[in-house]
Structure 1
Amino acid sequence: NSFCTLLDQMAHWQDSSVSSRYSTYRPEYPAELFEVVRREVAAAGIDAAMATVLDLGCGTGQAMVPLVPMFQRVYGADVSATQVEACNAALDKKVPAEQRGKCSAHVGGASDFGFSGDAADTVVDVVTVAQAMHWFDMPAFAKQLDRHLRPGGLVVAWMYGLSELEPAPCDAALRRLDAMLMADGHWPVERKHIDDGYRQLSQRVPYPVESVHTLRPVETRALDDFVAYLSTWSGVNRYTAATGHKTLLEEWKAEQAGHLNGGKDLLRVTLPIRMYVFRRPRVLL
């Protein structure tokens, strides 16, 4: 069931080796994505220089780090203490010293944003959610938004689907791998929201949709790097745990090397991103 899946997923993210691979090999979000965020914040009449942001499901900081220079204060929250530790380490490493004091990550999630003590009544102007909303308890998330998101504030949530690869034989092989994991039940049920592009899930956010954006950034990646990214897939890790078959990705890599000059050529990777912007009404009905 969904609750057991969530517990399984939390255990997955508590694994420090997974956090390390996640931080190193998960896709970087393109600058154009953060430019869309900047424009949407401005269009909502929010002064970014005075605004507070919560990056919910911050993971190891892929989205949070680029948000720091854009806003006055940026919080990150994740249910995994291991991910939070990795995120704070990324902030130490990547954020300029003069800005480090305005950002921090803590343990928290959709059901409890993690603001406590003197910060228990923290109100934020923007909540960002990068590739995480499909794990949320949506009714609990709605209650937390009503408590912590300022009227007129934004929820900016995005997801990315299955990468599109060139050359074409590698793309076909990736789709076969994904389909096998799905057919054999190794992908968590929440994966359906990724395949749906959050279309149904977006209807469960308690505020109106302001806009929807589609981005298709392209990058080149070495085969080894892309396979390391595949090793962060929860479906792959669940497959390995269930079957004991530990060489799945090595076999997949060997097959693709034949299409890439023995692995010397680079993969062309397109990342299909879909972003939703929701706005809390200024006047509460």
Structure 2
Amino acid sequence: MTASGFKDHFSGVADAYAASRPEYADELFDLIAARVPHEARVWEPGCGSGQATRGLAMRFAHVHATDPSAQQIAQHWAHSGAANVSVAVEPGERTALADASVQLVAVAQALHWFDRDAFFAECDRVLKPGGLLAAWGYGDFIAPEGMVDAVEDFRALIDPYWPPERVLVDTHYAGFAWPFPALPAPSLWLEAEWTLPHFLRYLSSMSATARCRADTGADPVARHAPALAAAWGEAEELRTIRWPLFLHLRRKP
């Protein structure tokens, strides 16, 4: 995701992204905080609208959250008033941060969009010796009970529109040429309790949904909403949505 070749799949759905993406569990941030001092300065490239920034800001002295999308930065959570967060429109491969200025680089559901060689070189530049690179992501959600058929019909419509980088998420970043040695990292789950309207907003925030809509001129969520609603039950009923979450921890020597 270089400055000149930024693959912008989310600016057009920035509002939906900010309003509908799931929140990360405290367990994830606590795992990272157990390996990084609380007084650490953090770089969070590919921050989007701040789904991970809040958890980082609660545990570390300062977070510099960056994203190449001005629309995403405009929606960022920190604008509501977070004294220890700075935000900037910057690509993942280049930041204004000084050499050896942070103790943690935290990348939430974004590494697959980066030019990894350039990004890993930037991590090596800005991380202090002993600093940590933490990168995580989550795959497709597990359909709630009774919704498998309706969800699979929706997925069949949008699946051809996923960008090729989606495969990197599905394989949990396997085979990446990581720049630093690995630390043990468990597999986790991401969970949300949502109503039907929230769930439909989440489906609308997917990059494949936006690409399908642009290509066909029809909204795939609107097309499948009646079947999804029938499988869901009462629209305001809370149902549990779960995503498998993977985490990579790499320590700079």
Q: Shared fold by TM > 0.5? A: yes
CA distance in 1, matches of 2:141, 2:226: 19
Which residue does the alignment assign to 2:226? 254
Measure the CA separation in 1 of the matches of 2:26 and 2:153. 31
Contact 2:22 2:191 survives alignment (8 Å)? no
What code does the residue aligned with 2:247 have?
M
- Aligned counterpart for 2:41 among listed residues 31, 52, 58: 52
**In the TM superposition, what is the alpha-carbon distance from 1:264 to its structure 2 partner?**
4.6
Q: Distance in 2 between matches of 1:122 and 1:105?
A: 19
Separation in 1, partners of 2:190, 2:209: 24
Paired residues of 2:112 and 2:168 also in contact (CA < 8 A) = yes
* Aligned residue type for 1:14: S
Q: Counterpart of 1:127?
A: 105
Q: TM-score normalised to the size of structure 2?
A: 0.91
| 2-structure distance, mates of 1:14, 1:210 | 34
Residues 191, 243 of structure 2: 8 Å contact kept? yes
Per the TM alignment, residue 120 of structure 1 is displaced from its structure 2 partner at its CA by: 4.1
Tell me what 2:85 maps to.
Answer: 103
1:55-102 Cα distance to aligned partner (Å, 9 max, x none): 111111111122113112211111111212222xx213253xxxx1x2
Q: Considering only aligned residues, what root-mean-square deviation do their CA atoms show, in Å?
A: 2.0
- Please, what TM-score do these two structures have when normalized by structure 1? 0.82
The one of 23, 26, 30 aligned to 1:28: 23
Unaligned runs of 5+ in 2: none
Paired with 2:200 and 2:222, the residues of 1 have a C-alpha distance of 8
Amino acid across the alignment from 2:92 = A
Distance in 2, matches of 1:121 and 1:32, equals 30
Distance 1:153 1:132, change over 3 A: same
- Residues in 2 aligned to 1:48 and 1:261: alpha-carbon distance in whole angstroms: 44
Unaligned runs of 5+ in 1: 42-46
Question: Which structure's residues are more often helix, by fraction?
Answer: 1
Aligned to 1:14: 11
Rounded to whole Å, the distance in 1 between the matches of 2:144 and 2:90 is 38
Aligned partner of 2:174 among 190, 199, 214: 199
Which residue identity does 2:182 align to in structure 1? Answer: V
* From 50, 66, 69, the counterpart of 2:58: 69
Q: SS of the residue aligned with 1:188?
A: coil
Sort the Cα spacing of 1:164 and 1:262 in 2 relative to 1 into closer, same or farther, 3 A. Answer: same
Contact 2:94 / 2:122 at 8 angstroms: preserved in 1? yes
Task: Indicate conservation of the 8 Å contact 2:99/2:127, yes or no.
Answer: no
The residue aligned with 1:146 is 124
Q: Is the 8 A contact 1:214 1:274 kept in 2?
A: yes
Larger relative contact order, structure 1 or 2 (CA cutoff 8 Å, min sep 6):
2
C-alpha contact (below 8 Å) 2:22/2:192 kept by paired residues: no
Equivalence map 1:186-225=2 (5 Å): 186-200=161-175, 203-225=176-198
CA distance in 2 between counterparts of 1:269 and 1:147 reads 38
- The reply on whether 1:175 has 2:160 as its aligned counterpart is no
Identity over aligned pairs, percent: 31
> Which AA in structure 1 matches 2:144?
E
2: CA distance, partners of 1:74 / 1:160:
22
For the residue of structure 2 that corresponds to 1:164, the secondary structure is coil
Report the counterpart of residue 78 of structure 2 in structure 1: 91
1:23–1:55 CA distance, 2 compared to 1 (3 A): same
Distance 2:148 2:189 in 1: 16
Distance 1:276 1:29 in 2: 15
Mapped contact 2:151–2:228 kept (Cα < 8 A): no
Amino acid across the alignment from 1:206: P
Q: Counterpart of 2:58 in 1: which secondary structure?
A: helix
Contact 1:76 1:106 survives alignment (8 Å): yes
1:82 to 58, 66, 71: 71
Q: 1:274 to 1:94 in 2, by over 3 A?
A: farther
Instruction: Kindly provide the amino acid, as one letter, of the partner of residue 83 in structure 1.
Output: Q
Tell me the CA shift for residue 48 of structure 1. Answer: 1.6
* Superposition deviation, residue 152 in structure 1: 0.9
Q: Is 1:270 the equivalent of 2:242? A: yes
Query: For 1:166, what is the secondary structure of its paired residue?
Result: coil
User: 1:77 aligns to what SS in structure 2?
Assistant: strand
Aligned residue-pair number: 251
